[in-house]
Amino acid sequence: MVLKILMLVVFFGVMIGIGLYCRKNATDVNGFVLGGRNVGPWLTAFAYGTSYFSAVIFVGYAGQFGWKFGIAATWIGIGNAVIGSLMAWAVLGRRTRIMTQHLQSATMPDFFAKRFDSQSLKIVSAVVIFIFLIPYTASLYNGLSRLFEMAFGIPYVWCVIAMSVLTAVYVIAGGYMATAINDFIQGIIMIFGIIAVIAAVLGSKGGFIQSLEGLAKVSDESVSAAPGIFNSFFGPDPLGLLGVVILTSLGTWGLPQMVGKFYAIKREGDIHKGTIISTAFAVIVAGGCYFLGGFGRLFTGDPGIQYNAKGGIIFDSIVPAMLQSSLGDLLIAVVIILVLSASMSTLSSLVLTSSSTVTLDLLKGHAVKKMDEKKQLLTMRGLIVAFIAVSAVIAIIQVQSPVAFIAQAMGVSWGAMAGAFLAPFLYGLYWKRATSRSCWASILFSSIFMTVVMFNQLGILTLNLGLLASPINAGAFCMIAGLVIVPLVSLISKAPDKQLVEDAFSCYSQKVLVKQTEALGDGE
């Protein structure tokens, strides 16, 4: 216990120290929100990766989908690395950095307003972000607090409060640069931590080969009658597996807290380096988490695995039970720091995104007509406190409700935001014919549909949505639907103003003068 507490004190001290050190970088809006657009490839790549993977992945998704799909859940981590990291950087990185600087936009709603000449689109986008980031943030507390209860016996409420206060301190003090530096440190911890945990858990079952053999013997007639199905290439439900891969991989393309990382990168050459670093990070962390979760059924009957009143397994208890029965005190302490790192990095990214969006896109120029630089910074810092407090209260209430699975809360959040913004943002960067009406169609469709799914989950509505009743499948559906809705609506609606579009895309083809040292003459 002394070791655990000592490691936590050091961890918290470093985080807060970095926040205070970075105060000089957070004296204006550009510095506070984007780090002055002066962040290198390593910090940007790790900020992207640590914002991507949190306690939601390590505790919620790894436990639930490892149980459902077996070792095939590793495909989710591979999809996260290839689609969610490699392709996202390759497709969005350069164009996002160039066009957002050209349009002088610091947030995704502001990008929509300037790219499509629509202030109302900006306001609605900001509202969607603010509303749907809250359940995601609440789910972070849930996963982290389960591990704290396991390791320390600390009540859930105090875990939530401690994490809230500490995250607020370093984000408010240092802004984006503090989160980026902390994300780098936290990312290093995550890489070494997940490798150590996998080795220890598999070692407790006799090693990798024996663990695979044990998994091949596991059967569940309610899932599949096929022998060794949890040790198979695609698992018992390939279609369901594909839905999870789409949601968790393609979703990053439309999430404001993820895309915002491209806004802050320093120069074009850093994008190539960042792509490689971010992909490698995802392979280790995401691949490792889902690979670990795939062995969850080897721990069936473990006293740490919990069941609800109907006899169904509580998925969020699987990974903590695996760790508790496999790890010694030192590795338990490492896991606590690992999940703290993952959760606080994601939480800091979410609250910074939410506060900047509300301040710059909802309040400035609308609710508050005149807002100078000092007032904007003060408002953002105040909103960080408010956003953390609201999400903490929801997390405390949520754990007492029947709908407490981490994956469901994240599915609703990701599905709504990525479904709403992915297609408008992607087409806005690449296609001159995309219109503001198509953006409206995509945003309204996904926001309304995912709200219906959420109400269905809570029991407020009782609709038979079939496969789409699951927030995971519904979120994947909304993303794909948006990619179809935007071009269809754009083609049947009035073309955008030509001058507006040409001005936006002119940043991709700027003329430069170079010195000509050798050339043949015109007549030769």
Domain ranges of the chain: 2-400
Token pair 């407090």: residue: 389
Q: In the prediction, which pLDDT does 223 show?
A: 76
pLDDT reading at 165 higher than 70: yes
Q: In the prediction, which pLDDT does 287 show?
A: 93
Q: What is the CATH number of domain 2-400?
A: 1.20.1730.10
Query: In this structure, what token pair is assigned to residue 232?
Result: 């198979």
Q: In the prediction, which pLDDT does 463 show?
A: 85
Q: Where is pLDDT greater, at 77 or 52?
A: 77
291 phi-psi bin (left φ>0, alpha ψ -120 to 50, beta other): alpha
Residue 368 β-bridge partners: 364
Distance from chain centroid for Cα 309: 31
Mean pLDDT within 108-119: 92
Q: In the prediction, which pLDDT does 281 show?
A: 93
Q: Where is pLDDT greater, at 436 or 306?
A: 436
pTM, two decimals, is 0.85
Mean pLDDT within 436-453: 94
pLDDT one-digit tens code per residue, 40-62: 888 888 888 888 887 667 777 78
Q: In the prediction, which pLDDT does 524 show?
A: 47
Which phi and psi (to 5°) does residue 313 adopt? -70, 140
Q: How confident is the model at residue 20 (pLDDT cuts 50, 70, 90)?
A: confident
Q: In the prediction, which pLDDT does 444 show?
A: 94
Q: Where is pLDDT greater, at 192 or 484?
A: 484
d(CA 81, CA 291): 13
Mean pLDDT within 410-438: 91
pLDDT reading at 442 higher than 90: yes
**Which is it for the CA torsion 395, 401, 405, 411, positive or negative?**
negative
Q: Where is pLDDT greater, at 127 or 57?
A: 127
pLDDT reading at 225 higher than 50: yes
pLDDT one-digit tens code per residue, 233-280: 888 888 889 888 988 899 899 998 888 888 888 887 789 999 999 999
Q: In the prediction, which pLDDT does 479 show?
A: 92
Which of 105-114, 146-155, 188-197, 435-444 is predicted with the least confidence, judged by mean pLDDT?
146-155
Give one DSSP letter per residue of 157-177, joined into a string: HHHHHHHHHHHHHHHHHHHHH
Summary mean pLDDT of the chain: 83
How far is residue 64 from each of residues 172, 196, 250, 289, 513, measured CA to CA in Å?
A: 34, 21, 20, 12, 57
pLDDT reading at 522 higher than 70: no
Q: Where is pLDDT greater, at 508 or 308?
A: 508
Check: CB of residue 346 under 8 Å from CB of residue 96. no
pLDDT reading at 7 higher than 80: no
Q: How confident is the model at residue 138 (pLDDT cuts 50, 70, 90)?
A: confident
Q: 282 Cβ partners below 8 Å, 6+ apart?
A: 49, 52, 53, 77, 80, 81, 84, 85, 86
Q: How confident is the model at residue 402 (pLDDT cuts 50, 70, 90)?
A: low
pLDDT reading at 401 higher than 90: no
d(CA 509, CA 393): 49
Percent of the chain clearing pLDDT 70 (strictly above): 91
d(CA 163, CA 491): 48
Mean pLDDT within 167-191: 85
Q: How many CB atoms lie under 10 A from the CB of residue 478? A: 31
Which phi and psi (to 5°) does residue 517 adopt? -95, -35
Q: In the prediction, which pLDDT does 465 show?
A: 85
Mean pLDDT within 424-440: 95
pLDDT reading at 434 higher than 90: yes
d(CA 475, CA 61): 15
Mean pLDDT within 93-107: 90
Which of 97-101, 290-294, 325-329 is predicted with the least confidence, judged by mean pLDDT?
325-329
Percent of the chain clearing pLDDT 90 (strictly above): 24
Mean pLDDT within 138-158: 68
pLDDT one-digit tens code per residue, 454-490: 888 877 888 888 888 888 888 889 999 999 999 999 9
Give one DSSP letter per residue of 408-465, joined into a string: HHHHHHHHHHHHHHHHHHHHHHH-TT--HHHHHHHHHHHHHHHHHHHHHHHTS-----
DSSP 298: G
Residue 409's closest CA among 355, 342, 454, 467? 454
* Cβ-based burial of 119 (10 A; exposed 0-12, middle 13-18, buried ≥19): middle
